Amino acid sequence: MLSFRVLSVNISVEKGTAKASVSEAAVGLSGLEGDGHAGDWHRQVSLLDSESILAFAAGTGLEISPGDFGENVTTEGLDLSTLKVGDRLRGEDGLELLVTQLGKECHGDHCAIYRRVGKCVMPARGVFCRVESPGVLRRGAALSVTRCERGENAQC
C-alpha cells in the first residue's frame, strides 16, 4: 500500500493567498474548518508535495515555505503526480479524501505567488480532493492511497 506523510497543514480565510501552517485542522464534509476553499464543491482540499516546492524554489531562487502556493496539505514521500482521479486518501480518525482533479487553471494576477514570481506550480502539480468522510489532518500524520481500479463496472 502506498503512503506518504503530511509535512504541513495550511489554512487561510481567503482564496488566492498563501496559507499559514497549523499543527492540525478539523476536516468536515465541506473541507478544512476555517479555510477559504471549504464549501460544496470538488476542490475542498488541495495537496502539493514538498519535492515539487523544492524543485520550483531551486528553479526560481526563491525561498518558499509550505502553504505559500495556497495548498492545504504539503506532503512528503510520494510524487503526487502519480495519483489519479478516483484514488482515495485515508488518514486518521476515519478521514477519507477522494481525488477529484489534477492540476488547475492558474489564477494569474489573482494569486499571491503568481504576483510575486510570475508563475505557479499548482496548475501542473496540485492535487484536489473532496471530503468523503470527516476527520483530522495533523502535521506528521500518514495518509494511505487506495487506487481506483477502473474497470467496466468500477465505482470509483
Distance separating alpha carbons of residues 89 and 72, to the nearest angstrom: 14
User: Could you tell me the CATH number of the domain that includes residue 132?
Assistant: 2.40.33.20
More confidently predicted of 108 and 62:
62
Residue 156 lies in a domain: no
Mean pLDDT, all residues of the chain: 89
pLDDT tens profile 78-113: 999 999 999 999 998 899 999 999 987 766 666 666
Distances (CA, A) of 133 to 86, 91, 142: 15, 10, 16
Residue 44 lies in a domain: yes
pTM (2 d.p.): 0.90
The sheet with strand 31-32 has its strands ordered as 31-32, 24-28, 135-138
Residue 150 lies in a domain: no
Query: Residues 39-50: what's their mean pLDDT?
Result: 95
pLDDT of res. 49: 97
By the 8 A CB rule, do 61 and 28 touch? no
- Which of 17-31, 97-111, 140-154 holds the top average pLDDT? 17-31
| Total domain count, the chain | 1
Residue 154 lies in a domain: no
CB pairs under 8 A, 24+ apart, for 31-39?
A: 31/72, 31/131, 32/72, 32/137, 35/11, 35/72, 36/12, 37/72
Residue 151 lies in a domain: no
Residue 94 lies in a domain: yes
Domain ranges, residue 117:
2-145
